[in-house]
Each structure stands twice: as structure tokens, then as C-alpha cells.
Amino acid sequence: MLARDPFGSCGFKSHPRRVKKSIYTLIYNEAMERVLKGKDATEFGSLKVSLVWNSPFPEKIVSVAMRRCYSTKPIEEIDAELDQKGIEYMKYLLKRALEDKALDVFEHFRMEFLIENLDETTVNSVLISYPFAHWLRLSGLEWLLAINARTLIEMWRDKETKPFASKLVEVLKEKHVCDAFNQVVFNE
């Protein structure tokens, strides 16, 4: 006897998760259509973005992660070595990580932003493309976004999400959170 499709009775030919994904795809496509028409570029101008928290010493955290991947030295020795060699050596390591496409080391640098005046459609479009960006709705159009630097870099490189990512990068620059990181990663 053949097993009956448990979703056949409700009209689905596949698992509900696939159906859910296609609904998200529709939302994503609608949002991306708005971005491509240029509407979101001006909407991003009304965003208010505030940095709530970030990992301390981001350049050093990423550099330690990179050195630890290829070294058997204890973290304390790597930390002392980075202090001795200075920020220029850390910039060199950041450049190497980007050149080698070793973006996983950037995941150690985390930040949280308060974002105001952001509609749910845009949040959904970013969420579908970047599932490692964690969103929490605070109220209406207010959101808390927890994101790591790898995801921010990927968003900034994507032409469709670059206007949004640029807003986040602007705040990092204004607060002088990670000047060396911004200079190396975002070429500015």
C-alpha cells in the first residue's frame, strides 16, 4: 500500500515549508522590485539608525580570529603579538581575509542597531536574503537589528541591499567604532 500524501487534502503538492518559502519569495520579489525602481533609495533617507552595541576592539577581534585559524599559539600570545605589531598589521590581516574570501573571521565582530522608520516589507526582503541578520520588532516601524560584520559586508556588496547597508556603515563611521575596519573593508 502506498503512503498517502499528508498535504494532498489541503491542496499542497509539497511540504508546507516550501509553500511558506514561496510566499516569502513573493514578498522578497515585491521589495526588490521597489528597490530596482529606486523607491527604496529615497525611503532609506528617512531611516534613523543608531548603534546600540558593538563588539569592543573589532579590528583586533577579527585579527585574533584570523591568526588563531592558522596558529597553535594561545590566544594570549596572539593578542600580545597584535598589540606589539599595531594597527597596520591588523589592517594587513583584514585585507588578507578579504582577498582570501575568508569572511568567516568577520563573524566575530557583532553589532546591534536601533532602526526607525523601516517598513516590514523591507525587513522581510533583507531577512530572506540574509538569515543571519536577526530582527526584533520593537513597535510599529522600530526594529532592533543584530548583525555580524560578515553579513554587513555581504549586504554592502549586494547592489540591491547596498543602500540599506550603507546607512549602517555611515553610523559606524560617525561613531568612529572601527575606523581601520571601515577603511579596509568599505574602501573609504
Per-residue pLDDT of the chain (188 residues; tens, 9 = 90+): 334 333 333 333 433 444 444 554 555 455 555 544 444 444 566 889 999 999 999 999 999 999 998 888 999 999 999 999 999 999 999 999 999 988 999 999 999 999 999 999 889 988 889 999 999 999 999 999 999 999 999 999 999 899 999 999 999 999 999 999 999 999 85
Maximum Cα interatomic distance, the chain, rounded to a whole number of Å = 72
Q: Please choose, from the candidates 146, 111, 115, 114, the residue with its C-alpha nearest in 3D space to the C-alpha of residue 132.
A: 146
Q: What is the pTM of this model?
A: 0.75
* Angle ∠(176,88,63) on CA atoms, nearest 5: 80
Cα–Cα dist 164/153, whole Å: 12
Q: Which amino acid is at 37?
A: K
H helices of the chain, in order, are 16-36, 39-43, 58-69, 75-85, 87-99, 120-129, 149-157, 162-174, 179-185
* Angle ∠(177,180,184) on CA atoms, nearest 5: 125
